[in-house]
Amino acid sequence: MRIRDFLGLTTSAIIAHRLRSLLTALGIAVGIAAVILLTSIGEGIHRFVLQEFTQFGTTLVAINPGRATTAGTSMGVFGTERPLSIGDAEALSRLPFAKAVVPFVQGNAEVKADNRRRRTAVYGSGPQMPQAFSMSVRLGRFLPADDPVAPRAFAVLGSKLRAELFAEANPLGKRITIGGSRYRVIGVMEPKGTVLGFDLDDSVYIPAARALNLFNRGSLFEIDVLYRETAAVDTVVAGIERVLKARHGKHDFTVTTQQQMLDVLGSILDILTFAVAAIGGISLLVGAIGIVTIMSIAVNERIHEIGLLRALGASRGQILGLFLGEALVLAAIGGVGGLVMGIGIAWLLHLLLPALPVHTPMLYVLLAESLALCIGLLAGVAPARRAAMLDPIEALRTA
């Protein structure tokens, strides 16, 4: 039998039951749309986060207080045995490979300037922060290299906070209060936007030692070390560990390299992908059951046709092929419909929520369509086999 005739026969059967075929294909389409939509969002987020993470370069190492067994759980561990201190950061900055060492504390506080006030994020940091995180100063200067333990009360404003507090006026040299303490504004940062959900523009930067006092904390959240590109990451980690172990007397901190962060990120995204696969899988399973049902009904309805085709010289193989082909065409239609639906919704979502990153790789499109075909094949096998194994005499005689 020729391919064209084969397709002609299968599609004629599908067209003869338009509505039913459409509904069956819809079952697959919903599953494929779910898979495409969710993977598009997942992939979009993946790319987005990856870009956010690597924008500071890859020669960054984070040190957090507390010893974690896995790299992932150390982020944001606050209840520590031995805190990370400003002194630790100082000691690390004397390491030969350290280009920049940035202590980091974060909290929220009310910032007042003359008659304006705003609750905002307060970042306690050090003078090398702009260098480590590729930030630049628009007006004035960043925090100076003061005595790290007793720095002067200087503050640098994020661009948005500056606009909120001072509008167009020049803020340099102005006095503000942050959580009740007085500071003098010495600089304004370039707009940076949000990084991993933190609005860096709606914020104020003050020396880390002062932030520790302000938030009444005994430990830094984190120390970030930017190291020279020529240094090997293992040497960097070993060096940091040696210094801190010597100071603390034990290994009660966690060093996370950029690569480890990416690995953690990867494993989180893997879980996400798995969840997506599970959701899509369930919808596809429902779609597959629809195909099995409809094909079983079709075999029963067309029992005479099967007997007749056999009498006219169709082999069991040809009957199997015809019904399998029908299931495949149904699944393929559903697959294409699902792709259009999924990509369409992803695109709409992108229009409505520009902040939500969406990306549909061509590979996923091809994989989804192949998946639909596989499902059609699997779902079609049992009914098609039944059709092929029918006794032609029985089939012709059945009332």
Residue ranges in contact with other proteins by CB under 8 A = 1-2, 4-5, 9, 12-13, 15-16, 304-305, 307-318, 392-393, 396
314/346 with CB nearer other proteins: 314
Alpha helical stretches, state H, the chain:
3-16, 18-54, 86-93, 129-132, 159-166, 208-214, 233-248, 258-301, 303-311, 316-352, 362-389, 392-397
In this structure, are residues 45 and 294 in contact, taking their beta carbons and an 8 Å threshold? Answer: no
Q: How far is the CB of 366 from other proteins (least distance, A)?
A: 32
Give the shortest CB-282-to-other proteins separation in angstroms: 34
Kindly tell me which of 4 and 94 has the beta carbon lying closer to other proteins.
4
Q: Which residue has the tokens 């599970």?
A: 278
**Distance in Å, CB of 313 to other proteins, minimum:** 2
Residue 27 CB, nearest distance to other proteins (Å)?
23
CB of 304 to other proteins, least distance (A): 6
243 dihedral zone (left: phi>0; alpha: psi -120 to 50; beta): alpha
CB nearer other proteins, residue 176 or residue 329: 329
Dihedral (Cα; 161, 165, 166, 170), 10-degree rounding: -60
| CA–CA gap between residue 242 and residue 220 (Å, rounded) | 19
Residues 6+ apart with CB under 8 A from 249: none
Minimum distance from residue 2 beta carbon to other proteins (Å)? 6
- By the 8 A CB rule, do 138 and 170 touch? no
Our CB check for other proteins shows the closer of 312 and 351 to be 312
User: Which CB sits closer to other proteins, 270 or 391?
Assistant: 391
Nearest CB to other proteins, comparing residues 281 and 392: 392
Min CB(4)–other proteins separation in Å: 8
Q: Which is nearer to other proteins, 38 or 322 (CB)?
A: 322
Residue type at position 88? D
- In whole angstroms, how far apart are CA 357 and each of 45, 266, 341? 6, 17, 18
